[in-house]
Structure 1
Amino acid sequence: MANPYDKAHELANELKQSEEFTKLQDLHNQVNADDVAKRMLDNFRQIQMDLQQKQSQGEQITEEEVQNAQQQFEVVQQHETISQLMEEEQRMSQLVGDLNRIITEPLEALYGVDQGEEQ
């Protein structure tokens, strides 16, 4: 019988060797090597985190804060490497989400049937 932890480590190694990961890693390194790009991206991500924190605490986000975030997004999107990095991050997020759905299918099937019977 296969050990799920061994399979998870195999999957992690496969992911590290994937084209998606290596491209993401390369773009990440490019942005980090460019002081201006890194500062721009760090600033944008800080704004995102601040807004998410306010939202999670139930605080109202002002129109000014939304506009500032949108302006910062437009600025970072104009930087070619940052834009490519963000696109690749989105692809990687989609891949990890797909893998998560596949891994959790047995649990969903198990609990989906149980929940249906209880109703």
Structure 2
Amino acid sequence: MTNVYDQANALESALRQSDEFLQMQDLYKKVNEDETSKKLFDEFRELQMTLQQKQMQGEELLEEDIQKAQSSAQEIENDENIKGLMEAEQKMSQLIQDLNRVIMKPIEELYEINNQ
């Protein structure tokens, strides 16, 4: 019998060696090496976490929160280092979604068989 955890560890290793991860790693380094990019990126992430916490706690987002988020997103879009990192994150996210579909396939097939 195959040890699923051994396979998961092998997948983790493969992800670390993937082009998508290596590109993200390189771009993240560039963001952190540029003082302006790092400051913008840290502020953006902090704002995101604050807004997510508010939503999770059922708090209504104020117009001020929305405007601040939009303004921050615009600044991020204008920073080439961060923009590149976010594009790389999207590619990595797509890869993880694809892998999740593969991983979930046996369960989906099981329920399909039982529902027919």
TM-score in terms of structure 1 length: 0.90
- Partner of residue 110, structure 1: 110
- Percent same amino acid among aligned pairs? 48
Deviations 1:79-115 (A, max 9, x none): 101000001001101111110111011112224555x
The CA distance in 1 between the partners of 2:21 and 2:48, in whole Å, is 23
Pairing 1:39–2:39 present = yes
Give the unaligned 5+ runs of structure 1.
none
* Aligned-residue offset at 1:68: 0.9
- Partner of residue 60, structure 2: 60
Give the unaligned 5+ runs of structure 2.
none
- 1:1-119 map, 5 Å: 1-114=1-114, 116=115
The CA distance in 1 between the partners of 2:88 and 2:30, in whole Å, is 13
TM-score in terms of structure 2 length: 0.92
The 4+ residue runs of structure 1 with deviation greater than 3 A are 111-114
**Would you say how many aligned residue pairs link Structure 1 and Structure 2?**
116
Deviations 1:51-85 (A, max 9, x none): 11101111100112111101100001101010000
Counterpart of 1:98, as a letter, is: D
Alignment RMSD (CA, Å): 1.4
The CA distance in 2 between the partners of 1:112 and 1:42, in whole Å, is 45
